[in-house]
Structure 1
Amino acid sequence: MSSTLYALTAIAIWATLASLGSALSHVPPFLLTGLALIIGSMPSWPLVLRDRAAWKVPKTTLALGIYGLFGFHFLLFIALRHAPTIEANLVNYLWPLFMVVLAPLLLPGVSLRPLHIVAALLGFVGAAVAILGARSGTAPSAVTEYWGFVPALGSALIWASYSLWTKRVAAFPTSAIGLFGLVSGALALVCHALLEPSATLVGKDWMLIVLCGLGPLGAAFFVWDMALKRGDARQIGILSYLTPLASTALLLLVTGRPLTWSIALAAALIIAAALMGSRASGRAGRAPAA
């Protein structure tokens, strides 16, 4: 299986995350994050039982994995719970652009070109269109829902910085992602017990949580890592810009929501900005993908 097929498989799986998160918006975010991450780590359990080295990573690498997996998904689920789903999803998918813009700050030897600035402005215009188009009225609840875009932006920043920082740590086996997920999931469940009210999950909830764990919070990470280890990160990174388009299209299908001009324009601007930022990197090739 080629690196491109691995990457496209991960993208197809990630496209379901926002839809699953929206369907599970009634589940406390810490509980949802914890259960899904633990389920997602299960495919690597047999490997570590056979060889303990499968999960052998430095403490700093483990901390980075927890920061990425736990932080990103928790903030994303919070955003999907408090903001209009499609617009929050579009804001979250500024992460490919952030990876390019933050590269000079987080990676040595990477510079920022003028085209990067243009791409950054275009991306933020797209985010503004998504946010402003989320509400056409002046209902009191509108102000509250706007705050839901803050965690969406935070999740994008976390995933971008996590992806860049993985280029600065020692290489780790793909199986170690299972350790990241297991520890992050356990941490999320502790937070749920301490900070959230208890919740009763019905059969449908469990089915969706299992799908969420085995798919976008599990298999996608393993498959994406395989793609990066086998192919050119620059080419694979460009493929990641298909994710917001696929994710938004699936959300429209699942929610039965019409494709309004603001959603279409925001999607076009964000995707165009991400592609422009990636192209501006030119030969540097130092903007890795998640």
Structure 2
Amino acid sequence: MHANLHALGAIALWASLAALGVTLQHVPPFLLTGLALLIGSIPAWSALPGLLRQGKLPLSTLALGIYGLFGFHFLLFVSLRLAPPVQANLINYLWPLLIVVMAPLFLRELRLKPLHLVAAVMGFAGAAVAILGGGSDPTATDGGWHWGYLLALASAFVWASYSLLTRRVAAFPTSAVGLFGLVSGLLSLLCHLVLESGAASFAALSARDWLLLTLLGLGPLGAAFFLWDYALKRGDARQIGVLSYLTPLGSTALLVGISGQPWRWSIAAAAVLIIGAALLSTRAR
């Protein structure tokens, strides 16, 4: 139960990611991600020297952390550039479904039951309703194929596999997530210099931008990762995967709230599907 509460804490913080991102949409995505990840890693800096000195973090584990935090955001942001963002975002939200379905493949002590599959499908349906029905222009689509869709699917696989593989590697303290964020943030800033060379620089950021970046870093791109790591190490990955479908629901609800758009029937429908999926998953123990 405590693990699920930590997972819900991470999910609540991730739900604010889109709302904060909208207010910072003028900041290049890799610059935004790099600075936010660096800020989010700050609370763990004091523990990092001891962690490295005592050799508690094998290079393979560090590579896994970079694979998860950097790989996920890199693939996601590129997919959002190449494909219609609403559809790409929807495909990216396959990661909770992948966590549920792939859990027995990565964690041998777990078994997938029919109710888990039903709950996963219900959860994805709720996520689809929340995203496609709650956006500013849910009909915006050109109906064509985009290679960005494959990158969005790849980003979903990266986050799902990272989340499950943290249970397969040698035990490491949650503070190590700070090192994952630190290195991933530096790599994101490198991508900014290489891929966004013509975009706004650090000097163009206002005091308000830095305040919002701090909230973004300490919340959805900081504390959320520590809570998520704690939850996955102590909870049932199948249940946590289904609970994760609350993220697009909360994200869409917040976006509707801050944009002043009227509430849609889709928000209520998504809530019923997602909460029903979470309840089903708890009965599948």
TMscore range, shorter length: 0.7 to 0.9
Give a deviation string over 1:173-207, Cα, whole Å, max 9, x none: 11111110111111111122112233143313222
Cα offset, 1:227, TM superposition? 4.8
> 1:34, 1:189 within 8 Å by CA — same for their partners in 2?
yes
Correspondences of 1:122-137 after superposition (within 5 Å): 122-126=122-126, 129=129, 133=133
Match of 1:287 in 2: none
1:142 aligns with 2:145: no
Structure 1 pair 222–120 and aligned structure 2 pair: CA distance change class (3 A): closer
1:185 matched residue in structure 2: 185
How far, CA to CA, are the matches of 1:222 and 1:209 in structure 2?
18
SS, match of residue 142 in structure 1: coil
Identity across matched positions, percent: 61
Q: 1:239 to 1:256 in 2, by over 3 A?
A: same
Aligned partner of 2:263 in structure 1 is 259
| Cα separation, 2, equivalents of 1:246 and 1:130 | 9
TM-score by length of 2: 0.77
Deviations 1:257-279 (A, max 9, x none): 22223454345435544553x34
In structure 2, the gaps of 5 or more residues are none
Unaligned runs of 5+ in 1: 284-290
User: Does the residue aligned with 1:52 lie in a helix, a strand or coil?
Assistant: helix
**Contact 1:75–1:155 (Cα < 8 Å) also in 2:** yes
Cα displacement string for residues 198-235 of structure 1 (whole angstroms, at most 9, x for unaligned residues): 31433132222222112111122223434555x54469
Worse overlay, 50-59 or 157-166: 50-59
Q: 1:126 to 1:55 in 2, by over 3 A?
A: farther
**Counterpart secondary structure, 2:170:** coil
Pairwise CA RMSD of aligned residues? 3.6
Show the 5 A alignment for 1:218-229.
218-227=222-231
SS for the counterpart of 2:214 is: helix
- How many residue pairs get matched? 275
Post-superposition Cα deviations, 1:226-251, rounded to whole Å, max 9, x if no partner, equal 4555x544698365454443333222
Counterpart check, 1:202 vs 2:192: no
Deviates more, 1:265-274 or 1:12-21: 265-274
Instruction: Supply the distance in 1 between the matched residues of 2:144 and 2:258 (Cα, whole angstroms).
Output: 21
2:160 maps to 1:157: no
Q: 1:247 is matched with which residue: 241, 246, 251?
A: 251
- CA gap of 1:155–1:274, structure 2 versus 1, over 3 A, is farther
Return 167-176 or 20-29, whichever deviates more.
Answer: 20-29
CA separation of 1:122 and 1:184: change in aligned 2, threshold 3 A: same
Indicate the SS of the match to 1:199: coil
Cα displacement (A) at 1:156? 3.3
Work out the CA distance in 1 between the residues paired with 2:39 and 2:72: 17
> Quick check: 1:66 aligned with 2:69?
no
